[in-house]
Every structure is written in C-alpha cells, then in structure tokens.
Amino acid sequence: DAGITQSPRYKITETGRQVTLMCHQTWSHSYMFWYRQDLGHGLRLIYYSAAADITDKGEVPDGYVVSRSKTENFPLTLESATRSQTSVYFCASSEGRRTDTQYFGPGTRLTVL
Amino acid sequence: ELKVEQNPLFLSMQEGKNYTIYCNYSTTSDRLYWYRQDPGKSLESLFVLLSNGAVKQEGRLMASLDTKARLSTLHITAAVHDLSATYFCAVVEGSSNTGKLIFGQGTTLQVKP
C-alpha cells in the first residue's frame, strides 16, 4: 500500500543500547522529518532531510543520528539509548513545496529501561 | 526563537455547544497548520492557512489566521462526540521552505453526550 510506514511500532530496549527506527514512504516526497512526542511538549523536530544525502538538525537532535541514502527511507538511530529518549516517534514526509502539508506515519512507541 | 502556545490545553464540552481553541505564536510566519490526533493514533492534517485573513471550514470546524496578531483560531460549532481528539496547531518559522514545523502543546477536546 502507498503511504508512510514506520517499524517497529513498539520497541523496548535498555539504556546504552543502539536502536534504529525505520521510516519508509512510497510517495517519492523530497522532504522527510523525525519528531518525538512527549506529554506537555507537543511534537518536537529531531532531524529533517530535504533530499537524499541532505539532512539537518531540528530542535532536539542530541543523541540521535540520521541518514538518507535513498529518497524513500529515513532511518533514525539512537546511538546509546537513554531513559529520557522514551517517547513516541513520528516520521513525516512532504513534497517540499512551500505550501505542502506534512503527512505523518503511524508512530513508534519506544521505551528505554 | 519561535514559540507556539495553545489554549486551553484541555476542554470538556457538551454536545451541541460552540467553542474556540486559540493558537498564538511568537514570531513572523506565513503558514499555519492544524492537525488532529486521536488517542494512540497518528496526526491527520485538517487545515493549511497561508495568508492573513485566511479562513478554512470543514464540517463543524472552522480555522482562521490573523498574521498581524500572530493568532489562529479553531472554532467548533455544535460539537459532537466524534470531534473528541487532541488538536495541534503548528507554525513554520518565517518563510522557510524547509517546512520545519514548531508545534503547540495540543488541546485535548472531550465532547460529552
């Protein structure tokens, strides 16, 4: 099916472990985004990408790494997970034109013990 | 630094009543988005507001934008239970083409029969 998917949907890990969250979109959208959602904070941008091999930091990038070798994929890696990274992570994409809406994936609920 | 504030953060209302959610932002922007999120679900785009005085309506929801006051409103007319959800406004910083969104904290709407 076309759209934007995330995997895994749920993940439990331990402090210090490396975790990679996957995001895949089938629309060939130029822009992709990673957000985290925490109670009381709404959504906060972690990283975004304007195209393959072009990425930039958002509001809360510390502790995260991204890559984008293909237009359709935008993985987010927590190099050494901490409890403060327990959150719901959303991936989004847009065509990148000035007026475009961002379309959000279903989210990944990550718990760091 | 762009800040986005919504109020109220929680709203409990009776079916059939009208109410307004407010979204204030701190610096110049020419694009504002409204999203809806059901519990445990992803975000769904409701409206994109692109200019001063813009008004969009869909069913019982109407959104407006006043860029001079840096204020958007989401008006709910004759609320029904199906409108129970969390509503987010999000603002693009300045005239950025990157689509970097700054979200408000969200307003949780509970419509009681």
What's the pLDDT at A99? 64
CA dihedral sign, ordered B18, A104, B7, B101: negative
- Cβ-contact A20, A64 below 8 angstroms: no
What's the pLDDT at A96? 73
Question: In this complex, do A99 and B103 lie within 8 Å of one another by their Cβ atoms?
Answer: no
What's the pLDDT at A101? 87
Q: Chain B contact for A42, CB < 8 A?
A: yes
Show residues of chain B in contact with A90, CB under 8 Å. Answer: 42-43
**CA-based nearest residue in chain A for residue B87:** A42
Residues of chain B with pLDDT under 70: 94-98
Question: In this complex, do B105 and A106 lie within 8 Å of one another by their Cβ atoms?
Answer: no
What's the pLDDT at B94? 62
What's the pLDDT at B6? 96
Question: In this complex, do B99 and A96 lie within 8 Å of one another by their Cβ atoms?
Answer: yes
* Separation between Cα atoms, residue A45 and residue A76, nearest integer Å: 12
* Beta-carbon count within 10 A of B10 CB: 11
Q: What are phi and psi of A84, to 5 degrees?
A: -70, -10
Question: In this complex, do B100 and A45 lie within 8 Å of one another by their Cβ atoms?
Answer: yes
Residues of chain A with pLDDT under 70: 1-2, 97-99
* Beta-carbon count within 10 A of B77 CB: 16
